[in-house]
Structure 1
């Protein structure tokens, strides 16, 4: 019979001010908590909600998938990271990530990784306190109150994912069966992942602004002929049209297939990632993944020859010109 996971402790009362040090072990792929022979008292601080909050609150944030390439920090994402590190100075955080083929809110500035290890008993308790804070019911009876006020879509920690779509913890990618330390990053045992809604990432939600944003921001939309959207522009209160993924035509070269995969992602000089590699492959440039001066020059020559502004930016018009140039000839 499977023993209780750390997160199941959320259903039990926690003593005031002092929490018992937990010795963590792995059993059956699930982190379990057991009191040490001589429990040591540890004071573990909690995150604090801002003053002045009232009973009105946002609904749980629906899942809005990443379709833009705009890595960096947005106000809400950065504020969350800073709050975590200010409360727990023995930790760190990171957010931006070079754009790749797999969907990730790291690519559009809506995701944060908080570096905090379950194998460290103190940090494990810190994570427990963060989860407790986010999912607690507030004094007005609002469930998952701080998660809703922050615009949290989902979080992943210690083999499990909590999603706003269900309000439940579920196993993450078969991690119960991979307790080995080699899987700590993939199973989020050495960090906790947070993905935010557009409202939460931008900092509009009541946790940061004191103003309740009940309307969902669906972010940028991709056109039907490209696989990625352009950069985030303004608040969009309606869902994007749903299109099938664009596939390369039969007989396409590997370069064309890569271009189609990343088509639509806005690229500026200095950026990195998969879309840049696709363009470099198409122009027969060294595959560095960096939008360097040589690649910018090649893009500008290509754009100028087609009457497009030679400004180094790869946007929807440039992608369409690239796809037209590299499509297989019948």
Structure 2
């Protein structure tokens, strides 16, 4: 009879354990939604491609990153990378992106990620689809082989990652972290989630004609940017000239993160190519500016870039 009772009790125990597992998964909290959000809500964020080199985290980027960290203390995040070190274009270069360190390879971590994705993309009580993503100005998300974009509102395979199964692809396929990219309103914290007011769309800095990167001014741009053709070096140009043309317009200066753009400038100025914009580099830039009748600010202004491109054969 004891054996029979034990057998009869086993399904109950299993059910209890399974229920407990489900409860633990469901118990992963979403980030706190502020009270008093207005009825008005932003449209889905317009895609604003990174054009400026300004590796300083924007205030809204930090607010969202810190909200995630406060909600999930076992996680961490990164925001900015040196221009040119994370692919050709990245909102990490202008302070509008977060790499939130949650892993699809760990059940608890993946549950935290899923809680945030559900929170961001859920329909609210007023019937607004993707409500929190809109109120935070999210323009795209990448996690666990997939990418969600505000331009379509759907998940799609990211860079063929479904078939890239090996551990060597875990980082590039975003199985080790979630990438969150913000539009300019979201990055500057000027959305209803933070201000409870809908702001006009900020399109970000504009690339000047004849160069490829924009100068970050900090001023809002609510009218958009003119379209200019991407500048390319002739096929016969040296590797250095091609690199300089690619990064032309990036307002490099001392104290910013280094990277390949700084290395190219140092090579063009015939100083040690350390990749770090140090005092030696600033002095070399000032010397070059003085020789070409350019104000000697010691940073790579648009006039300095044009003169440097002309001087590099």
Per the normalisation by structure 2, the TM-score is 0.89
More helix by share: 2
1:31 aligned residue: none
- In structure 1, C-alpha distance between the alignment counterparts of 2:56 and 2:178, rounded to whole Å: 18
Quote the RMSD (CA, aligned, Å). 1.8
Q: Which of 1 and 2 has greater Rg?
A: 2
1:18-167 matches, within 5 Å, as 39=21, 41-42=23-24, 43-100=27-84, 102-167=88-153
Deviation at 1:37, TM superposition (A): 11
Deviation at 1:285, TM superposition (A): 2.3
Contact 1:259 1:275 in 2 (8 A): yes
Contact 1:161 1:171 in 2 (8 A): yes
1:153-232 matches, within 5 Å, as 153-213=139-199, 215-232=200-217
Aligned to 1:161, the other structure's residue is in SS state strand
Deviation at 1:217, TM superposition (A): 1.0
Contact 2:38 2:192 in 1 (8 A): no
Contact 2:289 2:304 in 1 (8 A): yes
1:274 aligned residue: 260
Q: CA 1:51 to 1:38, structure 2 compared with 1: closer, same or farther past 3 Å?
A: closer
Contact 2:38 2:197 in 1 (8 A): no
Structure 2: gaps (5+ residues): 1-14
After superposition, the C-alpha distances for 1:144-165 in whole angstroms (9 at most, x for unaligned) are 0000000000000000000000
1:264 aligned residue: 249
Aligned to 2:61, the other structure's residue is in SS state helix
Aligned to 1:85, the other structure's residue is in SS state helix
- In structure 1, C-alpha distance between the alignment counterparts of 2:218 and 2:104, rounded to whole Å: 38
After superposition, the C-alpha distances for 1:214-269 in whole angstroms (9 at most, x for unaligned) are x3211111112001111143111122112221011354333222211100010110
Aligned to 1:81, the other structure's residue is in SS state helix
Confirm whether residue 322 of structure 1 aligns to residue 308 of structure 2. Answer: yes
Contact 1:219 1:232 in 2 (8 A): no
- In structure 1, C-alpha distance between the alignment counterparts of 2:238 and 2:115, rounded to whole Å: 52
1:234 aligned residue: 219
After superposition, the C-alpha distances for 1:251-301 in whole angstroms (9 at most, x for unaligned) are 433322221110001011022122211101112222221101221121111
Q: Which runs of 4+ in 1 moved over 3 A?
A: 35-41
Equivalent pairs, count: 293
After superposition, the C-alpha distances for 1:64-112 in whole angstroms (9 at most, x for unaligned) are 1001000111110000100001000010011010001601000000101
- In structure 1, C-alpha distance between the alignment counterparts of 2:18 and 2:105, rounded to whole Å: 14
- In structure 2, C-alpha distance between the alignment counterparts of 1:171 and 1:181, rounded to whole Å: 18
- In structure 2, C-alpha distance between the alignment counterparts of 1:179 and 1:74, rounded to whole Å: 34
1:248 aligned residue: 233
